[in-house]
Amino acid sequence: MHPNRRQFLKNSSLVAASGILWPKSIIPIPDTAKKIRVLVWDERSDTEKEAYDNFLGNYIADQLKKQPEFSVNSAGLDDADHGLPENTLDNTDVLIWWGHTRQAEITAEKGISIINRIKAGSLSLIALHSAHWSTPFVQAMYEITRRNVHSGSSAKEADIRFIDPPSQYSVPKYDSRITPYTVERKFPDGQTKLEVHLPFCCFPAFRDDGKPSTVRVLEPAHPIMKGLPTGFQIPQTEMYDEPFHVPAPDQVLFEECWAEGQWFRSGMLWKLGKGRVFYFRPGHETFPVYKEEKVMQILSNAAKWMAS
């Protein structure tokens, strides 16, 4: 064999083994700067224009786009497939949801599709303010209730009956039994049957007069509360009053109170399978709540942490 050919083959073998001598153009470079894919979904009602020129959801999206960690898209209820086609959800890490008066237009099937992604760990949900009645949040609370019942009881599936609220958008009274709750019946043959009343996902009172709320941070070390003072005020917001009919959260990050004596667990976090659900109460479409720097800081922190 010609000496030059022998040397060429030797060098080629070294290149193949090490890979360090290939031209940069054909070396695969790892994606170390992958962005967090955020979808801000908004019902886009005309009343939002009292506080936001281009809808509430678009305003939030525009603020998040200023941060290099995020790749942000916005969608609306009147978009094709209600702004929630399957391929869009497949390419979303964090879904931020605003809904108010048209909650019922999102089907339970679409909500379950979102919940399945949360359970699989490919998606997390941030439900804003009146999205407590949104289809994905309600389905998440139902699923968490079912999981809690199954993990805490030895009853067979056939012996458990899950009961919806009296109507889909029911408002409980102050003296209503807090949902979810379970009624257990034991029979002489040893059989146990359970009736599980699913959560209202609502609360007994609200007031939309725009009076300020005071926020008290309960978990200052949590990443979602990073950079926030232990207390601050939201100048204009709607009031919600406890009790909030949802499964017990894994963590309450902050609460709000009002001068008239009302209070609310306003930053609630649940683990659902491999994903997370965060309920963020401050809001109302006619008040510029999301123009408050500290409010947007919480949302930004939440999107970063929930995508991790």
pLDDT of the residue at 154 = 82
Beta bridge pairs of residue 184: 194
Name 291's Cβ contacts closer than 8 Å, sequence gap at least 6: 51, 59
| Tens-digit pLDDT string for the chain (308 aa) | 444 444 433 444 333 333 433 333 333 434 446 999 999 999 999 999 999 999 999 999 999 999 999 999 999 999 999 999 999 999 999 999 999 999 999 999 999 999 999 999 999 999 999 999 999 999 999 999 999 999 988 888 899 999 999 988 989 999 999 999 999 998 888 788 999 999 999 999 999 999 999 999 999 999 999 999 999 999 999 999 999 999 999 999 999 999 999 999 999 999 999 999 999 999 999 999 999 999 999 999 999 999 98
Residue ranges matching CATH 3.40.50.880 in the chain? 36-142+205-306
Class of domain 36-142+205-306: alpha beta
The pLDDT of residue 152 is 87
Do the beta carbons of residue 140 and residue 268 sit within 8 Å? no
Q: Which two tokens mark 158?
A: 């056939």
- The residue with tokens 């898209």 is 73
CA–CA gap between residue 269 and residue 249 (Å, rounded): 6
List the 70-76 sheet strands across, edge first.
70-76, 36-42, 94-98, 124-128, 275-280, 263-272, 251-257, 213-217, 231-234
CB distance 234 to 213 below 8 Å: yes
